A and B are shown apart, each in its own frame.
Chain A
Amino acid sequence: MGTSYVYRRDASRLFIALRENGKRYKIYIPTDAKPVIDNEEQDINFIDHIDSQYYFNFNDKQFNCELVSRDQNKITIKVNGVEYKFSMESIFSYVRHGMIDKDAKQINANNIESPMPGKIVDIFLAEGDLVNEGEPILSLEAMKMQNEITATCNGVIQKIHVVAGQSVMKDELLVEVNAIDV
């Protein structure tokens, strides 16, 4: 997988912006790269910020943004003179709300169970971290072979049930992952 992951570790930098018309943007704001919007790194350049005004360049066009109003998590932004209203959620609250009507099976499907008996060699992530689909979460040694156990979805590491050095049985629950491709 290399380093081309869309999400870096910090789940607290992932947000959902929801418009009244139902359109939804999943926005990750890394500390050191361009923003990731709906799983794609966008070539958006930040130009300037003065008070409540934000200026961006995107697709060779300038976008003048102005904060119009802010009421709890409701934010109205004027972009080039046109207002857009968004309801903001952190990914944690969004997943929490989203899970209410999701059936349990689907949630369990994203949890990581041990495919074979073995020993946990190393755990690469911590609880609360973001993980990309296909990204290794931990390394499991079985029959003298080290196997990387990977995530089956983009998600947040909800809970890690094992520690390095621990032996596990087949089908033992190792890591709980909450999908964020909601």
Chain B
Amino acid sequence: MKKRLLIANRGEIAIRIIRSAHKLGITSVVLQSDKEPDALYLKYANEIIQAKDANDEKPIFLNATKIVDFALAHQIDLVHPGYGFLSENPDFAALCEESGINFIGPSPELIRNMGIKTIAKKMAIETGLPLVPGSEGAVVDAQVAKAFADKIGYPVILKASAGGGGRGMRIVEKPDAMERLFKSAYDEAVNAFGNGDIFIEKYLQNPKHLEFQILGDKHGNIIHLGERECSLQRKHQKVVEEAPSASITPEMRNQMGEMAVKFAKAIGYFSVGTIEYILDEDGSFYFMEMNTRIQVEHPVTEMVTHVDLVDWQIKVALGEELTLQQSDIQLNGWAIECRINTEDPQNRFSPQTGFIEKIHFPRGKGIRIETGVQNGSVVTPYFDSMISKIIVRADSREEVIEKTLKALNEFNLVGLKSTAPFCRLVLQDPDFVSAQYTTRWVDQKYTPEMLENDEEELIGALAATIIYAKEYLQIASNSTVYDDESLNMWVLNKRIN
């Protein structure tokens, strides 16, 4: 009998998982949330479960017990959590296991350990992964933090042990700011995660974010698939990612990759996973954390390795043995991913909600589109603003930058603003082109005015004039505007009436 896979997620990743499931001959089942009943992913699945979450406290994708109940009622064999939501929630993984459902991901214990940064770091030290100088475990209060910072030097960063996405994180530049910032980091951590453990470490001034993709099976085989550079972030979340990274040498790649594999082996890891490193200007690198899910930016790795990570994630969950060896992994060309978020880059990346009147994607060889929306979709305030990803591959970094720019120029979204113009700006910025960009680029270099250019302004002025003129000429004079023959108007033709 065909296996049945329930996707505990939505949007583009749900569609991505459905694609792999169908390729592997697995029946796909998705959850229809009342918060988004017309979502695009529903059209791709073999079966839909109505989640009836209109009156629930949280959307179905965060409701572990309800998902498992549905899974049991619908004879589900496997659950894929996607990313975000419950993907790194050990209790959900455990609940699946206890209910006899195959959770696609590592063991609950691994998820739990990697989710608690102090534990993850302790395990990293044991396998010889370098760490940014910092406290071994949580610091009890601001005084202790201050004493520690005096020792390693300012600036330092305070981080919630259970944190993520920038929450519970504070940068302390000077000793006298410690008390205030420690308290706010602590409060935020308690509110967000129910855990106020704060640790402290040296704050690197110009860091880059590199991460290695790991793939392992349940039989002890583990390989890495090279790195991704994800230094381009806003609000600590990635916007543009590339693979490989232009910031490391092949020797560093081997070293960082081997250490990642060594670490994954030491902790008995299986499934896909990501080892995150922070890379300093001087080339030294430090272990940051391990993500135990499939990541948003996984396609750039797939584009340069030709390995389907989601296929393997499912096959590994089913107990299959990895047929790939490290030597099979060759990096072929260069790939860039641009996240299309419905956010306003001219206004602090504030989320935009509403109706997508029209969305047009670039097409072509080497261009891959992952989208959770189409013409007429509604972007709700209930879910993440990432609606689509444009992934482009070419033979070299220079070529892929150019090709991605072309693709972004072809992209058109009517109805909402998006990060597309921001991505376009990034790809043209000398810091990105020279691969000198760091995770601080947005904070240090970016201003919304950079999005503007003279040609667009001129055309904008023309469009505004046409719109204004149309009305003005009808009111102010009896001259016919652009309608009819009067205006061949360099073919502002008969469409305007």
Contact = CB atoms under 8 A, between A and B. Distances in A.
Contact of A54 (B457, B466, B490, B491): B466
A20 to B, nearest CB: 11
A81 B418 contact: yes
B146 to A, nearest CB: 44
A34 B490 contact: yes
Interface stretch (B52-60, B221-229, B406-414): B406-414
Nearest to A50: B495
A80 B457 CA distance: 10
B467 A46 contact: no
Contacts of A7: none
Nearest to B423: A81
Interface residues of A, number: 50
Interface in A16-58: 17, 19, 23, 25, 27, 29-35, 37, 42, 44-46, 48-50, 53-54, 56, 58
Contact of B467 (A34, A58, A70): A70
Name, among A31, A63, A66, A75, the residue most crowded by chain B CB atoms within 10 Å (CB to CB).
A31
Category for how many chain B residues contact A: 35 or more
Interface core residue of B420, B424, B477, B490 (most chain A CB under 10 Å): B490
A104 interface: no
Contacts of B412: 64
Given A46-B490, A53-B414, A75 B468 contact: yes
B368 to A, nearest CB: 21
8 contacts: A31-B489, A33-B490, A44-B490, A63-B456, A64-B414, A70-B467, A73-B468, A81-B420
Contacts of A81: 413, 417-418, 420-421, 424
A32 B417 contact: no
Interface string B436-466: 0000000000000001100111111111111
A32 B458 contact: no
Interface of B: 346, 358, 409, 412-414, 417-418, 420-421, 424, 451-452, 455-469, 472-473, 476-477, 479, 486-493, 495-496
Contact of A65 (B346, B463, B487, B496): B463
Contact of A15 (B458, B469, B477, B492): B469
A13 B473 contact: yes
B489 A63 contact: no
A171 interface: no
Given A49-B496, A66-B414, A77 B464 contact: yes
Nearest to A77: B460
A80 B456 contact: yes
A31 B413 CA distance: 31
A63 B409 CA distance: 9
Contact of A86 (B420, B460, B488, B495): B460
Contacts of A23: 457
B465 A88 contact: yes
A40 B464 CA distance: 18
Contact of B472 (A35, A63, A67, A90): A90
A39 to B, nearest CB: 13
A17 B461 contact: yes
Nearest to A29: B469
Given A15-B469, A56-B459, A90-B472, A29 B489 contact: yes
Nearest to A92: B476
A125 to B, nearest CB: 17
Given A46-B491, A67-B467, A84 B452 contact: yes
